[in-house]
């Protein structure tokens, strides 16, 4: 007993602020927790379903089928392989919208943890982004298989464009999710606003219409249309997959894909980065009030 | 200001203010404006609270309801940040606060143990090493692979408790009103807390029960309306609070003390 009592354990850790202050950096320092949170979301989605993860393949396949049947067979729109054109856009748009929507609600949804545990709160919007990113996997596989059937051959440069597109949405989506997730704590209206904003996103990108149409109608103002990073991301994905599935890829590229797309893409990446920094700053500013307002 | 190496917790002139919001919708707010009522009000949960704790000390934090105990605990835990002043801690913090927070009802007991341990700052290897011990302590048996949503409330609480108590921490926080489990389980928990105390870790224990504070702590801090009212020796602190008057606070047998602690944790 005396032995135990006299033992005076000294901890060599420094005296530090007990609440995590490094923001997004802290999230990456605690990658293991992030991984578990992402896995929790992914697993919970397909719990108690017989087909389980197969659903994430069935879903995009059915969408692709509907687009093909409705747009190409029934409505007979002029654009070639229109189903793939839409699907390329849809991958980007869904990634963005899911990140934005789920990210915005993430803090309120994880109330129990946020109010009681000292975890970096940026963790939750980031985890939402990763969950959405995870669901791109099956969509991408479906897309690649269909594209291969239609005579598409992979091209390394345009595939890099695909990666760039994902990067743009990652940064932009996380940045906006950070900003709106705090706002949502203070006013739950924000969640509804975000849903409405998402509707604009669907039509603000060349998904159910080709970019050539925008160029035709807007003329030189098409330049401003391309300042939308999400539109650039959609076009980059279309360049990577859709262009190669058409009869004459070179002609399609010239007609439907804007010049200097990569330049716009990198500009979009820059914008995404700025939004992310802003998101972090806004988050930091209001974060202290989160636990008491939940 | 510098502190010696043996300092475990520093609370330095900490103030925490909460905003009370009366009106949430635009309609309510405009009505309030017209009637000339305040849109919001604030109150000071903690006012200029200062103290330091050395490593190995066990502190009993006492006070009436609403005196700021839980807020102070949350600041030390790092969930909240002070509006002014600062809180510093040394080493890893864990404890019996909000046990089972973040359990996902659809995930199995096993998955939740890993997740909860990660939330509390444990690494994957650490969790794997202690996994069997945690399961054994929680006594969930063959329910381990069942979603925790189907657990009985006792089982749910025991699982959260088991994870929390197995985190290697340098500072151990314990909040009251976590009365869970049957008598044998309570006994086990008390033994575990004694172990924590004897291993030289800092113990920070929030309680209303004079008996258990007397048994577990060697210093008492009493909060009064957000200010430190008393800081010092245990019995004097309990007298200060006038918690030692009723006969029920002087349990004569060991068993009753155990029960009282059990009711608290």
The answer to whether A265 touches A172, Cβ cutoff 8 Å, is no
Does the CB of A117 have a partner CB in chain B at under 8 Å? Answer: yes
Nearest partner of B172 among B94, B63, B256, B81, judged by Cα: B94
Whether residue A133 lies within 8 A of chain B, CB to CB, comes out as no
Report the first-to-last Cα separation within chain B, whole angstroms.
35
Query: Is A35 among the domain residues?
Result: yes
Distance from CA of A293 to the nearest CA of B (A): 9
Enumerate the domain spans of chain B: 1-33+41-86+171-265, 92-169
Inter-residue contact B140 to B155 (CB < 8 Å): yes
Q: Do A44 and B77 touch (CB under 8 A)?
A: no
Instruction: Give the pLDDT of residue B14.
Output: 94
Question: What is the CATH number assigned to the segment(s) B1-33+41-86+171-265?
Answer: 3.40.50.300
User: Domain limits at A286?
Assistant: 24-45+80-293
Q: Compare CB distances from B119 to A43, A44, A119 and report the shortest one's residue.
A: A119
Q: Counting beta carbons within 10 angstroms of the beta carbon of residue A4, is it exposed (0 to 12), middle (13 to 18) or buried (19 or more)?
A: exposed
Query: pLDDT digits over B98-153, tens only?
Result: 777 778 888 889 999 999 999 888 999 999 999 999 999 888 888 999 989 898 88
**Minimal CA separation from A39 to chain B, in Å:** 10
Res A1 pLDDT > 90: no
Q: Is residue A274 a part of any domain in this protein?
A: yes
- Residue A119 belongs to a domain: yes
Answer whether B253 touches A (CB < 8 Å). Answer: no
CA distance B114 to chain A (A): 8
**Mean of all residue pLDDT scores within chain B:** 83
Q: Show residues of chain A in contact with B120, CB under 8 Å.
A: 117
Interface of B with A in 35-54 (CB under 8 A): none
Residue B253 pLDDT exceeds 70? no
Q: How many domains does chain A have?
A: 1
For residue A40, is it within any domain? Answer: yes
Chain A residues close to B7, C-beta within 8 Å: 15
Q: Which residues of B touch A43 (CB under 8 A)?
A: 106-107, 111
The tens digit of pLDDT for each residue in B228-243 reads 999 999 999 988 888 7
pLDDT, tens digit, for every residue of A60-119?
889 888 988 888 888 876 788 888 999 999 999 999 999 999 999 999 999 888 888 888
CB contact under 8 A, A47 and B106: yes
Which residue(s) pair with B87 in the sheet?
A: B11
DSSP secondary structure letters along A144-192: HHHHHHTT----HHHHHHHHHHHHHHHHHHHHHHHHHHHHHHH-THHHH
* B123 touches A at CB < 8 Å: yes
DSSP code of residue A9: P
Q: Which of A17, A115, A292 sits opposite B18 (nearest CB)?
A: A292
Average pLDDT over residues B188-203: 83
In a domain, A65, yes or no: no
pTM for the model stands at 0.87
- Chain B interface includes A75 (CB < 8 A): no
Is B124's Cβ below 8 Å from some Cβ in A? yes
pLDDT tens digits, B22-48: 667 788 878 888 888 777 778 889 999
Please tell me the predicted confidence (pLDDT) of residue A6.
41
Determine contact: B105 vs chain A, CB below 8 A: no
Q: What are phi and psi of B230, to 5 degrees?
A: -150, 140
Q: Answer whether residue A121 is part of any domain.
A: yes
Nearest partner of B97 among B192, B183, B161, B9, judged by Cα: B161
Q: Is the pLDDT of residue A5 over 70?
A: no
pLDDT at B177 over 60: no
Cα end-to-end distance, chain A, whole Å: 46
Which residue in A10, A33, A116 is closest to B101 by CB distance? Answer: A116
Q: What is the mean pLDDT of chain A?
A: 89
In a domain, residue A184? The reply is yes
pLDDT band with cut points at 50, 70 and 90 for residue B250: very low
Query: Would you call A118 an interface residue with chain B, using a CB distance cutoff of 8 Å?
Result: yes
* Domain-embedded: residue A3: no
Minimum CA–CA partner of B112 in chain A: A40
Chain A residues inside the 8 Å CB shell of B170: 9, 11, 13
Shortest alpha-carbon distance between residue B254 and chain A (Å): 19
CA dihedral B99, B102, B108, B111 (to 10 degrees): -90
> Do residue A288 and residue B81 have CB atoms under 8 angstroms apart?
yes
* Shortest CA distance from A113: residue in chain B: B102
């Amino acid at each position: 007993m005396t032995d135990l009592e006299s033992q005076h354990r000294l901890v060599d850790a420094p005296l530090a602020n007990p609440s995590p202050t490094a923001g997004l950096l802290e999230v990456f320092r605690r990658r293991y927790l992030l991984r578990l949170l992402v896995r929790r979301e992914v697993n919970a989605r397909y719990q108690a379903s017989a087909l389980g993860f197969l659903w994430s393949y069935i879903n995009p396949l059915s969408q692709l089928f509907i687009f093909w049947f409705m747009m190409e067979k029934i409505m007979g729109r002029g654009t070639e392989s229109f189903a793939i054109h839409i699907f390329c856009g849809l991958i980007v748009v869904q990634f963005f919208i899911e990140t934005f929507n789920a990210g915005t609600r993430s803090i309120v949804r994880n109330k129990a943890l946020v109010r009681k545990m000292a975890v970096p709160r940026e963790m939750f919007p980031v985890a939402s982004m990763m969950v959405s990113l995870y669901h791109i996997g099956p969509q991408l596989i479906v897309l690649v298989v269909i594209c291969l059937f239609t005579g598409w051959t992979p091209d390394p440069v345009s595939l890099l464009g695909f990666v760039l597109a994902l990067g743009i949405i990652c940064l932009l989506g996380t940045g906006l999710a950070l900003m709106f997730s705090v706002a949502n704590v203070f006013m739950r209206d924000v969640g509804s606003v975000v849903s409405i904003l998402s509707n604009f996103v669907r039509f603000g990108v060349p998904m159910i219409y080709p970019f050539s149409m925008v160029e035709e109608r807007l003329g030189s103002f098409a330049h401003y249309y391309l300042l939308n990073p999400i539109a650039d991301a959609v076009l980059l994905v279309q360049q990577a997959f859709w262009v190669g599935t058409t009869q004459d890829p070179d002609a399609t590229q010239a007609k439907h894909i804007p010049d200097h797309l990569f330049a716009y893409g990198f500009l979009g990446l820059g914008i995404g980065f700025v939004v992310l920094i802003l998101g972090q700053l806004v988050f930091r500013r209001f974060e202290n009030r989160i636990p008491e307002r939940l | 200001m510098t502190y010696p190496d043996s300092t475990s917790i520093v609370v330095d002139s900490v103030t925490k203010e909460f905003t009370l919001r009366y009106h949430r919708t635009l309609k309510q707010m405009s009505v309030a404006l017209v009637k000339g009522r305040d849109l919001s009000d604030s109150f000071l949960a903690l006012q200029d609270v200062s103290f330091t704790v050395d490593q190995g000390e066990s502190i009993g934090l006492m006070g009436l309801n609403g005196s700021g105990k839980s807020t102070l605990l949350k600041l030390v835990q790092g969930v909240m940040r002070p509006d002014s002043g600062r809180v510093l801690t040394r080493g890893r913090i864990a404890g019996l606060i909000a046990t089972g927070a973040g359990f996902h009802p659809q995930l199995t007991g096993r998955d939740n143990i890993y997740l909860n341990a990660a939330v509390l700052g444990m690494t994957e290897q650490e969790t794997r090493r202690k996994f069997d011990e945690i399961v054994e302590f929680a006594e969930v048996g063959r329910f381990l692979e069942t979603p925790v949503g189907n657990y009985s409330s006792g089982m749910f609480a025991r699982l959260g408790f088991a994870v929390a108590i197995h985190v290697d921490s340098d500072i151990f926080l314990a909040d009251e009103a976590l009365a869970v489990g049957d008598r044998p389980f309570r006994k086990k928990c008390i033994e575990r807390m004694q172990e924590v105390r004897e291993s030289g870790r800092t113990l920070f224990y929030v309680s209303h029960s004079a008996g258990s504070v007397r048994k577990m702590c060697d210093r008492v801090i009493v909060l009064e309306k957000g200010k430190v009212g008393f800081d010092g020796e245990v019995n004097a602190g309990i007298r200060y609070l006038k918690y030692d008057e009723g006969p029920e606070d002087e349990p004569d047998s060991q068993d009753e003390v155990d029960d009282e602690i059990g009711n608290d944790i």
